[in-house]
Amino acid sequence: MTEQTRFDLPQSAIPTAWYNALPDLPEPLAPPLHPGTREPVGPDDLAPLFPMALIEQEMTGAPWIDVPGEVLDILRLWRPTPLVRARRLEQALGTPARIYYKDESVSPAGSHKPNTAVPQAYYNKLDGTKRLTTETGAGQWGSSLAFACAQFDLECKVYMVRASYEQKPYRRMLMETWGSTVVPSPIDDPSHPGSLGAAISDAVRDAVGREDTHYSLGSVLNHVLLHQTMIGIEAKEQLAKAGESHPDVVIGSCGGGSNLGGIALPFMTDSRVRLLAIEPSSCPTLTEGKFDYDFGDVAGMTPLMNMYTLGHDFVPPSIHAGGLRYHGDSPVISLLVHAGRMEAAAYPQSKTFDAAVQFARSEGKIPAPETGHAIRGVIDEALRCKEEGRDEVLLFNYSGHGFLDLSAYDDYNKGRLLDA
């Protein structure tokens, strides 16, 4: 095969502004509500948790937001990321579809998450914050924030879901190597396996209790999706280089909605493009949740957000795609699904590993279990194209690599992987 499979942008072509989807949404976003009064929250309510620049980004109607030079200098360590045409997967499937993926696994932490960790650490540093707290499930977000805090000389304390803390030591080691402190959550109950919602409560409680400390969230919020739009902005330019006018379908796995939002939002106003979210059927927020106000955490300390939710006390079964085990979802993604602009599908774990392994055997790369969900969606779309004889362009986000998830592949290879 002599045909080109990689479409790179020079370092000088890194996007210098983020795309803000808020003014282009099909309906206005319902405001977050104060957990005590149930009145809309204002900037001052959020000030104990976030620096004002991020609070402004959370609410602004400006269509584009400039990326600070200090942030670009760090993102350039790995951005722009490659756009890859998965020709060998196309061949393996015998599909006329053209499959492209944006490879976000090339970042220092191995996923898309540093795209927002870096600007969040930057705006906190600028604001005089000395210390950040956060939660992490399997450790993808915690390690991304640990990397970013090291760049800006900020202290970082990570509350890690206890089950992962005990069973998945490698990302804890990454965080500690980048200089962060990691503790198992919930801190007040050593017998509890923990959950993302409970770890958020621990991290928020710590941040509001200290003057020098802010809190940082790796997904769900508007400013997080904003920072991730770099992915889609670059992809648009790279698809043009590949000779494609537009993708027919854009696909991403959906936990809190940030990698999906990052690749999909820049295509949102193009009505030719279908947008597709893939989630686990054991945590089917978009496909079976209720569109309603709910808390972001278990203890009910965060503002209420209007989103698809399974209930803030929902504890999803333990699956290997830890990053997709969240009871709620980004309000922006939820609204797009509710308004019919985005579709959603759910798959059981075994089907996503079938897809991840097929990808690994054809394209070579071993995806994160979360990314395996997107690949499942892509393969099914490619098979539909084969059945219908359509040469559609499918674009998906390769949100991370699976090198620290090999025990999950071992379970799959040995026939021990169960569907919850």
Contact positions vs ligand PLP (CB under 6 A): 111, 113, 140, 219, 253-260, 323-324, 368, 370-371, 399-400
Nearest approach, Cβ of 356 to ligand PLP (angstroms)?
12
Helices within 38-102 (DSSP H only): 43-46, 52-59, 69-75, 87-93
**Per-residue tokens: 339:** 């308004």
Name which of 111 and 306 has its Cβ closer to ligand PLP.
111
Name which of 119 and 256 has its Cβ closer to ligand PLP.
256
DSSP state of 367: B
Q: What is the dihedral of CA 308, 314, 317, 322, to 10 degrees?
A: 60
- The candidate with the shortest Cα–Cα distance to 373, out of 338, 309, 323, 305, is 323
- The candidate with the shortest Cα–Cα distance to 132, out of 61, 144, 385, is 144
Nearest approach, Cβ of 295 to ligand PLP (angstroms)?
18
The strand pairing partners of 346, in sequence order, are: 279
Nearest approach, Cβ of 5 to ligand PLP (angstroms)?
22
Nearest approach, Cβ of 278 to ligand PLP (angstroms)?
10
Name which of 186 and 256 has its Cβ closer to ligand PLP.
256
d(CA 316, CA 323): 11
Name which of 52 and 315 has its Cβ closer to ligand PLP.
315
Name which of 208 and 357 has its Cβ closer to ligand PLP.
357
Phi and psi torsions of 142, nearest 5° = -60, -40
Name which of 20 and 253 has its Cβ closer to ligand PLP.
253
b/e map 266-284, b = 16+ CB within 10 Å: bbbeeeebbbbbbbbbbbb
d(CA 110, CA 107): 5
C-beta separation of 151 from 180 below 8 A: no
Name which of 264 and 385 has its Cβ closer to ligand PLP.
264
**Per-residue tokens: 405:** 């998830």
Name which of 129 and 399 has its Cβ closer to ligand PLP.
399
- The candidate with the shortest Cα–Cα distance to 401, out of 327, 300, 336, 323, is 323
- Length of the chain measured in residues: 420
Nearest approach, Cβ of 39 to ligand PLP (angstroms)?
28
Name which of 55 and 404 has its Cβ closer to ligand PLP.
404
Nearest approach, Cβ of 262 to ligand PLP (angstroms)?
7
Nearest approach, Cβ of 20 to ligand PLP (angstroms)?
18
Reduce the DSSP state of residue 184 to 3 states and report it.
strand
C-beta separation of 368 from 109 below 8 A: no
Q: Where are the beta strands (DSSP E) in 104-242?
A: 131-136, 155-161, 181-185, 213-215
Nearest approach, Cβ of 386 to ligand PLP (angstroms)?
27
Nearest approach, Cβ of 37 to ligand PLP (angstroms)?
29
- The residue with its CB nearest to ligand PLP is 400
